[in-house]
Chain A
C-alpha cells in the first residue's frame, strides 16, 4: 500500500533512496498505480511543454528596457497596470524616470558650473546665483512653460509636477546632460536635486549606485501626496506655478 503523498513525492524524486526503491517496487507491481504514474508524468510534461513556450519566446522589449533604464513607475498593482494599458496613457512616472546611471551630485555640479557648457554644446541647465543653485535661462523657460503631456522635441523634458510638503510646486526635468527636480522659489526655479544624465557621463567619474532611479527617491522624500495629473499641471501653469 502506497500512501498518496508518498506516491507523488516518489514521482517528483523527493523521497530518500530507500523509500524510493520501496515505492517504485510497489508501483511496478500494481497496474492501477503504474497507470496513474504514467498519466501524471505525461500531464506534468504537457504542462512544462506548454509553459516552456513562454520561456522560449523573445522577452518583450519593454521588460528589458525596464531593467536597462532602471525604470520606475507607480504601477505595482496589476489592475492599475491594466487600466493604464487600456487608457494608452503614458504614466507620468514613466516619462520622468528615463534615467540611466547617475553620479554623485557634487562632482557633477562642479563640472557643469565650471565648464558652463554641457557635452553636447548646449548651455548648462544650472547656474549659481546668490549662493543658490538655480535653473539656467533655458531650463527655467522649460520649467515654466512646458507640459509633461506635450513634450518638446529638444531641450529639457519635463516629467512630473508635484507639490512638496511646504506647498511649493516642483517639477522634474531631464536633458542630455542632467536630470533632477527644481522647486518654485522667489519667482525662479531652485534646483533641489540633480543627477548626471547617461549621455554626458564621463569615464573618469565613478558610477554612483547604478541605474537605480535616485531622482524618484529624491522626489518621494519631499512629495506631498500624488503628482499632479495633466489637468492639474495645466491649471498650475496657468496660475503661474503658485
Chain B
C-alpha cells in the first residue's frame, strides 16, 4: 500500500476543524459545508503538491482560504448592483426567545460576517483556530505586523457586536 490511505485518514481526522474554519469564514452553515467539500476535492486533486513531513492542517487551511477568497470575489462582482439579501436576513434575525444550542453559533457567524474579509480570516485563524501570529502570517502570505493590526481591529469590532455595546 502506498501512503495514500494515510492521506485520506489524516484528511478525515481534520474534517471537524476544517468545518469549524469554514463556518468562521462563511455566511451560512450550508455555504460552510460546500466550502469544506470544495476544499476536500481540491486537496485530493492536488495531493501531490503536499510535502509529507510538513503540516497537513496548514496546507488544507490555505486551500480553504484561497477557495473562499475566490468565492468572495466572484460574489462581489455578482452582487455589486444587488442588495445582499441573505446577509441582511442573517443579521436581522432576532435571537431573543430562540432557545437553541446553535444560537451562540448563529450570533458568532453573524458577527464574523460583518467583519471585513481581511479581518475575518485573521480572527478565524488566530482567535478561533488557535494558530500563532507567525503561522497565520505564513498561511496568508502577509507580514506579521499586518496580521496583528488586522486582528486588533477585528477583535475590537467583534467585542462591540457580541457584547451588545453599540459604539459606532
Query: B105 to chain A: which residues have CB within 8 Å?
Result: 50-51, 53-54
Residue from the list B16, B23, B75 in contact with A79, Cβ < 8 A = B75
Flag whether B133 is at the interface (Cβ < 8 A): yes
Question: Range of interface residues on chain B?
Answer: 35 or more
Query: B142 to chain A: which residues have CB within 8 Å?
Result: none
Closest to A81 in B: B34
Query: A76 to chain B: which residues have CB within 8 Å?
Result: 38, 41-42, 67, 70
Query: A56 to chain B: which residues have CB within 8 Å?
Result: 16
Known contacts A46-B108, A78-B34; A73 and B133 CB within 8 A of each other: no
Contact of A207 with B15 in the complex, beta carbons under 8 Å: no
Chain A residues near B (Cβ < 8 Å): 4-5, 8-9, 12, 14, 39-40, 43-44, 46-57, 59-60, 62-64, 66-68, 70-73, 75-79, 81-82, 85, 207, 209-213
Query: A209 to chain B: which residues have CB within 8 Å?
Result: 2, 4
Shortest distance between the CB of A241 and any CB in chain B (Å): 30
Contact of A64 with B37 in the complex, beta carbons under 8 Å: no
Contact of A68 with B8 in the complex, beta carbons under 8 Å: yes
Besides the known contacts A78-B26, A209-B2, A210-B4, 15 further A-B residue pairs in the complex with CB atoms under 8 A apart: A8-B155, A12-B126, A14-B133, A47-B128, A52-B20, A53-B101, A54-B23, A55-B17, A59-B16, A62-B37, A67-B12, A73-B41, A76-B38, A76-B67, A79-B74
Contact of A67 with B158 in the complex, beta carbons under 8 Å: no
Which 10 A-B pairs have CB atoms at the shortest separation, nearest pair first? A210-B4, A50-B108, A81-B34, A50-B104, A78-B71, A55-B16, A54-B20, A55-B20, A54-B23, A59-B15
Query: B68 to chain A: which residues have CB within 8 Å?
Result: 78
Shortest distance between the CB of B149 and any CB in chain A (Å): 6
Closest to B35 in A: A78
Q: List 9 A-B contacts (CB under 8 A).
A: A5-B148, A46-B162, A53-B102, A63-B37, A67-B44, A78-B35, A82-B30, A212-B4, A213-B44
Shortest distance between the CB of B86 and any CB in chain A (Å): 10
Shortest distance between the CB of B4 and any CB in chain A (Å): 3
Residue from the list B35, B45, B101 in contact with A72, Cβ < 8 A = B45
Chain B residues near A (Cβ < 8 Å): 1-2, 4-5, 7-8, 11-12, 15-17, 19-20, 23-24, 26, 30-38, 40-42, 44-45, 47, 67-68, 70-71, 74-75, 78, 101-102, 104-105, 107-109, 123, 126-128, 132-133, 145, 148-149, 151-152, 155, 158-159, 162-163
Shortest distance between the CB of A212 and any CB in chain B (Å): 6
Closest to B129 in A: A51
Shortest distance between the CB of B18 and any CB in chain A (Å): 9
Contact of B5 with A210 in the complex, beta carbons under 8 Å: yes
Closest to B3 in A: A210
Shortest distance between the CB of A85 and any CB in chain B (Å): 7
Interface centre among A12, A39, A54, A209 (most CB of B within 10 A): A54
Complex-state Cα separation, A67 to B60, whole angstroms: 13
Contact of A70 with B101 in the complex, beta carbons under 8 Å: no
Complex-state Cα separation, A209 to B5, whole angstroms: 10
Closest to A13 in B: B132
Known contacts A14-B133, A55-B20; A44 and B41 CB within 8 A of each other: no
Complex-state Cα separation, A47 to B105, whole angstroms: 8
Query: B70 to chain A: which residues have CB within 8 Å?
Result: 76-77
Closest to B12 in A: A67
Contact of B148 with A72 in the complex, beta carbons under 8 Å: no
Closest to B26 in A: A78
Shortest distance between the CB of A175 and any CB in chain B (Å): 23
Contact of B127 with A47 in the complex, beta carbons under 8 Å: yes
